[in-house]
With several copies, the nearest count.
Chain A
């Protein structure tokens, strides 16, 4: 039986207690997208500004458990200034860590790139032993993907 220590690494609790990039961005120019985890009621709000194909700024709002909040916090730190393509690779790598099958199928996703470094996010690895929590951990990433889609759509002419 996996223990609670596998799930709640210190770095997770740290991000939970002191979340990075909390707040809002003015909309527009930023994009605002909400995400919901119907299982446990977690709600996340992502404010995203994309410029020249890269994440210019990001802010996180909403309420959630330590896993969803810390995942969002770590994500916000790592995606800032990354290009959309890099964010896509990070997302795939993160989902692969969560045992979510991505890429290589007919949806046109690339296979996860083994060279992508997840850094702090690796602390979330233990989540995979608690399958119910995977949805908590991926909520912010799915919401980010949607925010990027919307931001890119409004960038395009």
Chain B
């Protein structure tokens, strides 16, 4: 293999991959949904709870100081990992969904009014759609949609016309259904050209490829810990210092204030202004450990591995099933993430994955929280296999075998 990832060694770091299901090994191909966690991430959280568990930014004793330092170190790690100019630009949230809600509702309520235009793409996840629908209902903002082409790319022909006059352009860096990698810098520039802010949903990008938010030039970037080897319960919103300073608080309570009286309150500095209540301390520390783990592998090696394995998968499926199997999205592995949504003959995805499950193959069937895209694709659901650092060619072969078994069972 050409890439430099030692997948066997990586596999050994993930305890769940030793598990048997239905009498065979677990073949986990649903990392776009949530990733598995390496021992190092679990150990970091366990270590925190067993040694330094205390509330942060409040305690005046040793373990409270350790907890605060561990949380802020995790923030610094995340900042470095995504090329953020400053740690304080990294806001911890509970997931990417909260991050995007913060943008739509804290920034949006303060800056948008009836008739203002927010531009999305047709391939957005519900997390980057429904908050804007709520703002539509509340404020009367208007949504416009950047269309996709038949092969699952963003249609760039009309981008500037559609974005013209908009206040916000918000889009996924990588599609969670098609794997398409969008031209982030191109869209950010178009947004700024039009006087709009650019919001990037990088939930499927940060885990899989080197990310530099400064090079993107975006205003806000959202992503989620559990898809990048981190725990559940932690997400990130990055924003430039300027825009974070100018955005009013969202959730409110402890931690995010400088002063509270019966009459009103004043807010704390960024990022704490946006972190109301006791944060997900252990989870932030776990995310920091996940970042360490990914940096240990090297994000270029991660990407190289996924391109190579996705290429193998696309070739294998084409060879074994020909026209019976249709993979949505870009045909060239180099232009996409390791997410493959497919339909097989006229078998419904849920029936397909039911058979897969008997073979230990974990593949998601459904709309993948992207119902508008499903409508564009003309399907109600797809089966989606997605690859990550612990997957190898044997996993892809197991998927192909499971597809063959399904064909067999339903005797098509």
Residues of A within 8 A of B (CB): 1, 3-4, 7-8, 13, 34, 36, 38-43, 62-67, 69, 130-133, 136
Residues on A with C-beta less than 8 A from B257 are 38
Smallest CB gap from B61: residue in A: A132
B381 touching A40, Cβ below 8 Å:
yes
How many Å from the CB of A70 to the closest CB on chain B? 11
A65 touching B348, Cβ below 8 Å:
yes
Q: List 11 A-B contacts (CB under 8 A).
A: A38-B255, A38-B257, A40-B350, A40-B367, A40-B381, A41-B349, A41-B365, A63-B379, A63-B381, A130-B354, A132-B68
Q: Mark B352-386, 1 if CB is under 8 A from A, else 0.
A: 00110010000001110001001000011100000
- With contacts A36-B259, A41-B374, A132-B65 known, is A64 near B354, CB below 8 A? no
Smallest CB gap from B255: residue in A: A38
Residues on A with C-beta less than 8 A from B68 are 132
How many Å from the CB of B253 to the closest CB on chain A? 12
How many Å from the CB of B363 to the closest CB on chain A? 12
CA distance A62 to B351 in the complex (A): 16
Residues on B with C-beta less than 8 A from A41 are 349, 365-367, 371, 374, 380-381
Tell whether B60 is near chain A: CB-to-CB under 8 Å.
Answer: yes
Q: Which of B257, B259, B374 has the most CB of A within 10 A?
A: B259
CA distance A34 to B380 in the complex (A): 14
B365 touching A40, Cβ below 8 Å:
yes
Residues on B with C-beta less than 8 A from A69 are 348
Smallest CB gap from B22: residue in A: A1
How many Å from the CB of B278 to the closest CB on chain A? 14
A39 touching B57, Cβ below 8 Å:
yes
The residue from A13, A34, A38, A132 contacting B60, defined by CB atoms under 8 A apart? A132
- With contacts A38-B57, A132-B65 known, is A63 near B22, CB below 8 A? no
- With contacts A4-B358, A39-B58 known, is A66 near B351, CB below 8 A? yes
B57 touching A63, Cβ below 8 Å:
no
CA distance A67 to B358 in the complex (A): 17
The residue from B23, B379, B381 contacting A42, defined by CB atoms under 8 A apart? B381
Contacts A4-B354, A40-B349, A131-B65 known; 12 new A-B pairs at CB < 8 A: A34-B259, A38-B57, A39-B57, A40-B381, A41-B365, A41-B381, A42-B350, A42-B381, A43-B380, A65-B348, A67-B351, A132-B68
How many Å from the CB of B166 to the closest CB on chain A? 30
How many Å from the CB of B136 to the closest CB on chain A? 21
Residues on B with C-beta less than 8 A from A36 are 258-259, 266
The residue from A4, A34, A132 contacting B409, defined by CB atoms under 8 A apart? A4
- With contacts A4-B409, A36-B259, A38-B57 known, is A65 near B65, CB below 8 A? no
- With contacts A4-B409, A36-B258, A40-B350 known, is A64 near B57, CB below 8 A? no
Residues on B with C-beta less than 8 A from A62 are 380
Residues on B with C-beta less than 8 A from A4 are 354-355, 358, 409
How many Å from the CB of B65 to the closest CB on chain A? 5
How many Å from the CB of B155 to the closest CB on chain A? 24
Tell whether B52 is near chain A: CB-to-CB under 8 Å.
Answer: no
CA distance A132 to B356 in the complex (A): 14
Smallest CB gap from A68: residue in B: B350
Residues on A with C-beta less than 8 A from B410 are 8, 13
How many Å from the CB of A12 to the closest CB on chain B? 10
The residue from B65, B268, B409 contacting A38, defined by CB atoms under 8 A apart? B268
Residues on B with C-beta less than 8 A from A65 are 348-351, 365
Q: Mark B241-263, 1 if CB is under 8 A from A, else 0.
A: 00000000000000101110000
How many Å from the CB of B365 to the closest CB on chain A? 5
CA distance A39 to B258 in the complex (A): 9
Residues on B with C-beta less than 8 A from A43 are 259, 380
How many Å from the CB of B173 to the closest CB on chain A? 24
Residues on B with C-beta less than 8 A from A40 are 60, 349-350, 365-367, 381
CA distance A130 to B353 in the complex (A): 13
Q: Mark B312-352, 1 if CB is under 8 A from A, else 0.
A: 00000000000000000000000000000000000011110
A136 touching B350, Cβ below 8 Å:
yes
Q: Which of A41, A43, A63 has the most CB of B within 10 A?
A: A41
Residues on B with C-beta less than 8 A from A133 are 350, 354
| Chain B stretch 127-179: residues in CB contact (< 8 A) with chain A | none
Residues on A with C-beta less than 8 A from B350 are 40, 42, 64-67, 133, 136
Q: Which of A3, A39, A40, A43 has the most CB of B within 10 A?
A: A40
